[in-house]
Chain A
Amino acid sequence: MTGRTAGAVDEQVIDRLRDAVGARWVRTDAATRRAYARDATPLFDAEPDVVVQPGTTAEVAAVVRIAAAHGVPVVARGAGTNLCAATVATHGGIVLSATRMDRLLEVSEAEQLAVVQPGVTTTALATAAAAAGLLYPPDPGSRAVSTIGGNVATCAGGLRGLKYGVTRNYVLGTEAVLGTGEIIRTGGRLVKDVAGYDLTRLLVGSEGTLAVLTEITVALVPAPPTAGYGVAYFDSLADAGRAVAAVVGAGLVPATLEFLDATCIEAVESHAGLGLDRGAGALLLFGDDGAPAQVDAALATMVTACRDAGARAVTTAPDVATAEDLLAARRCTLPALSRLGSLTVLEDVSVPRPRLAEAVARIGDIARGTGVRVGVFGHAGDGNLHPTAVADGQDPAQVAAVHRTFEQIFQLALDLGGTITGEHGVGAAKLAWLPRRLDPAQLALMRRLKAAFDPAGILNPGKLGS
């Protein structure tokens, strides 16, 4: 997890890289290597030997060919907002930055799709889609910063997962460079196309270990005309869990079902003073989008479900401004928690929806046992929760306690029939946990798949498939 010494890449390789993409886009200075040693994952830090910013697919292919010939690792990187150390160059080598390949190539209203280069930010795509009356539904928390390339590589999720699915549900096709330097085009613009293996789906979430994405075609959906939101407070998350079960039982698939536990409510209220109910054990933010009558009916159903589950209070937002106030509580949860300590570890596990309340309660038990402050918030609709630990990063004992806490939380998720990561990814951070989630035959298959895509083993080594 500490910085490597540089110099592992021959000057001759650097020269060839300079010839391939232009000298100004190949940098080996100390400041550049240090700046790219980190992504958004706490406690992971490793300097690449060289940072390359290619401008075209052909340049990406040229860089990968040079790397393959010399056995130099290649770590593709978008904005570096992932939380699983997927873009930390743990084996040194080349960090390949997508920031120059940031053109939005096309938005087709007729086909309801967009074609983008990997460096386009999620928000830029969503904005372009909205201008055409369309919606790009995946909305990861870092969407203003994160790139589509990174979203696809990690199969990013977001708040709308239950109703709209996640990134994998929207990728129609890709152009990608294999570890050999060959350029492939998978899928395309068609809704129906079963010619061959679904390599598009395989590349989604492959975290840069199989290929480097150079172009992505995404599906868009008609933008819903309205949205509505409400908030309910409960004495306990168990009550909130019953409300969620009732909502789903009523045949509703709402766009928003987010929860905060008591620790998060307290942190948000201390930080932002939004007037939340500090005595509550859980806050449930609910909402839906669609035609006005449909939204009204959905909100009414959810209000009833919350009241029947014994909510302390339920309110709905009569207008956009009030709705924004409600959403603010969810949006500022991480900022509020982060102010409680210098080290903030935002984690990510998923459990079957009916086990959500139980999972949160047992995470509370674990945190009490290790003495670490852990707030839990997340997506009640899809069972994806984000236990977030806050500690003093300078205190090794506290850092060790944070590690112990999450080891127990990951095991808990598996025990409940869940998974070690719902939407953040495996990266270097959770690779050690992968054998607990996947059986040996599947892990062996993954290694063989990686070898087929990347025979030299240069694409993001030390991560998936390694």
Chain B
Amino acid sequence: MNVFDPEVLGRCMSCGFCLPACPTYALTGDEASSPRGRITLMRGIEDGTVSLFDPAVQEQASMCLGCRACEPVCPAGVSYGLLLEQWRDTAWRGRDTPWLVRPLLALTRHDLVLRVLGRLRRHARPGPRRHPGPHLLLGCVERVLFPGVSRAARAVDPDLQPGRGPGCCGALHAHNGRLGEGEAMARALGDRLPGTIVTTSGGCAAHLAGVLGRDRVAELSEWIVRRGLLPPARTGQARPRVAIQDSCHLRNGLGVSATIRTAVGAVAEIVELPSARDCCGAAGTYSLLRPRESARIIAPKVREIADAGVDLVVTVNPGCQRQLRTAVRRAGLEVEVVHLAELMAGQR
């Protein structure tokens, strides 16, 4: 078959250095659910030794979180995230698309409902048409679930113009078997919002950077540090104890993690969780598609949060925020889960 970029697939030398970084390998201890094992499967799909549509092969395309934790540890620099997108782009065609994903993709594609819901939920008001930027991306998930995040981002930097029109950058589509559509949506967004696009979602940042170029995109913490928007150090006040949850695509895809700590460290005392950099199990649509694995992946993190004795957990991606908030509540912890924007705007 001709599913994968042969240059990217050819890069893997099967050394196995990715195994200890992989959350699903940690769950199963099974080569087939490791990045190297999945790449062996991809090679098998290409040379015909396994079928793309074999249920056991499909299971591995589905079980992968797509967190890309295997990429920074890869000695050969394999772009695993791209290979996974290409895999699902073929494997999740037509009736093979997971049924839970379909309404989500449809909803974010036709954004009228999204706009109405978002407005009802009172996210930040979009700015004027044809503004030169910098623009604030009103992400599709945030509009509906966390409308306060865009208002908080505007409070941190009033110069940010909330972008008009559809908010979805297409990351959701690219990660769920609609690679071409996801890229087209990102390009359309880039045309509509010229200049720098600032996003409060790690997943959107990595997808947009991949399509539009790294220089067009800034994640909020990068923006705050770059523009010198850090609040002056507060003295004499009790600083909250804060744990950070990295965004996988932000950290593993774009290498952004230090600016988050610079920003949080300006207003709070950082308590690093041992698993701060590890996937929380939200992983886009993963927590909906595979709730059992998702719950197993977040369980040790909730124990760490309980042990750390923190006041807040700060996230930089709406999916992580939802996942952690749900898990922390379910565990009965008195810990608030907030977005970086909300912390920086002094709303927490």
Contacts and interface: CB of A to CB of B under 8 A. Distances in A.
B14 A393 contact: no
A80 B31 contact: yes
Given A31-B54, A142-B16, A338-B13, 19 more contacts: A30-B50, A30-B56, A31-B50, A31-B59, A32-B30, A32-B31, A34-B40, A35-B32, A36-B32, A37-B40, A39-B14, A40-B15, A42-B14, A81-B16, A97-B29, A102-B29, A144-B17, A334-B75, A335-B75
B37 interface: yes
Question: Which applies to chain A's interface (DSSP): helix, strand, loop or mixed?
Answer: loop
A346 to B, nearest CB: 8
18 contacts: A3-B49, A31-B41, A32-B30, A32-B31, A34-B40, A35-B38, A36-B31, A38-B40, A39-B16, A51-B31, A53-B29, A79-B16, A81-B16, A99-B29, A121-B20, A332-B75, A338-B75, A342-B11
A344 B36 CA distance: 16
A40 B16 contact: yes
B44 A34 contact: yes
A40 B14 contact: yes
A100 interface: yes
Interface string B99-135: 0000000000000000000000000000000000000
Contact of A145 (B16, B40, B49, B55): B16
Contacts of B31: 32, 35-36, 51, 80, 97
Contacts of B29: 53, 97, 99-100, 102, 119
A144 B16 CA distance: 10
Contacts of A193: none
Which interface residue of B11, B32, B55 has the most chain A CB atoms within 10 A?
B32
Contacts of B15: 40, 81, 142
Given A142-B16, A144-B20, A145-B19, A35 B41 contact: yes
Contact of A35 (B7, B20, B40, B77): B40
Would you call the interface of chain B mostly helix, strand, loop, or mixed?
helix
Contacts of B11: 338, 342
B165 interface: no
Interface string A87-124: 00000000001011010000000000000000101010
Most buried by B among A30, A39, A102: A30
Contacts of A40: 13-16
B16 A31 contact: no
A-side interface size class: 35 or more
Residue among B37, B38, B60 facing the most chain A CB atoms (10 A cut-off): B37
Given A335-B76, A342-B11, A34 B41 contact: yes
B40 A42 contact: no
A362 B146 CA distance: 66
Nearest to B45: A34
B20 A145 contact: yes
B259 interface: no
Contacts of A102: 29
A12 interface: no
Contacts, number: 99
Contacts of B38: 35
Nearest to A82: B16
Interface residues of B, number: 34
A442 interface: no
B11 to A, nearest CB: 7
A342 B19 CA distance: 21
A10 interface: no
Interface string B9-39: 0110111110110000000011110101110
A47 B13 CA distance: 18
A11 interface: no
B57 interface: yes
Q: 7 closest pairs, A vs B, by CB? A: A99-B29, A31-B56, A35-B32, A335-B75, A35-B37, A29-B56, A342-B10
Most chain-A CB neighbours within 10 Å: which of B30, B59, B77? B30
Given A35-B37, A97-B29, A394-B10, A30 B76 contact: no
A436 interface: no
Interface string A22-33: 000000011110
Interface string A141-169: 01011000000000000000000000000
A70 interface: no
A126 B40 CA distance: 30
A339 interface: yes
Nearest to A338: B76
Contacts of A53: 29-30
B51 interface: yes
B183 to A, nearest CB: 26
Contacts of A142: 15-17
B16 A80 contact: yes
Given A32-B30, A42-B13, A79 B77 contact: no
Nearest to B59: A31
Given A102-B29, A335-B77, A342-B11, A31 B57 contact: yes
A312 B162 CA distance: 59
Interface in A30-80: 30-32, 34-42, 47, 51, 53, 79-80
A60 to B, nearest CB: 15
Nearest to B15: A40
B226 to A, nearest CB: 24
Contacts of A41: 14
A84 to B, nearest CB: 13
Nearest to B6: A394
A102 B75 CA distance: 25
B3 to A, nearest CB: 15
A198 B75 CA distance: 39
Nearest to B51: A30
A37 B44 CA distance: 10
A42 B40 CA distance: 12
A266 to B, nearest CB: 18
B35 to A, nearest CB: 11
A184 to B, nearest CB: 26
A34 B19 contact: no
B32 A31 contact: yes
A131 to B, nearest CB: 14
Nearest to A101: B29
Contacts of B59: 31
A144 to B, nearest CB: 5
B10 A393 contact: yes
Of the candidates B7, B29, B41, the one having the most CB atoms from chain A within 10 angstroms of its own CB is: B29
Nearest to B44: A34
Contact of B30 (A81, A99, A119): A99
A127 to B, nearest CB: 12
Interface string A233-270: 00000000000000000000000000000000000000
A102 B60 CA distance: 23
Nearest to A331: B75
B54 A30 contact: yes
B299 to A, nearest CB: 18
A262 B32 CA distance: 38
B10 A339 contact: no
Contact of B57 (A30, A97, A99, A339): A30
